[in-house]
Amino acid sequence: MPIWVLILDYVMGMIMWTLIGRTAMNVFQREDSEFFFMRMFVKLTNPIIKPFTIITPSFIIKPLVPIYVAWFFYMFRFYFMPWALGYSVMGMLSFPLESEFTQVFLSLFKK
């Protein structure tokens, strides 16, 4: 597997999961909260969300914008990664980041 594909997938995966985490944190915290983790999510994800404001529909409420942007990263990974890896079938385990996480998780509970 080419290293550039792994690096690209890991970066895109971390961005996607961070955006999902920000959306989840928005359920419990305001965006301008003083809570450290919320400030960290906002500070890390605002530069990622900003370029997507051009294509973000106005009817999407502000707390859901990060999940909308995460969808773009997911779609890129879903269609590009299997092609880049030479897979003929698309699926969740064609994502290297999630595939490795799943393997580690399953090895913890395997007897």
Cβ proximity of 14 and 70 under 8 Å: no
Q: Which of residues 85 and 42 earns the better pLDDT score?
A: 42
Parse the chain into domains and list their residue ranges. 3-109
Alpha carbon 4 to its chain's center:
18
pTM tops 0.95: no
3-state secondary structure of 83: helix
| Confidence band, pLDDT 50/70/90 cuts, at residue 94 | low
68 touches 60 (CB < 8 A): yes
Q: What type of residue sits at position 22?
A: R
Query: How confident is the model over 11-66, as pLDDT tens digits?
Result: 999 999 999 999 999 988 888 888 888 888 889 899 999 999 999 999 999 999 99
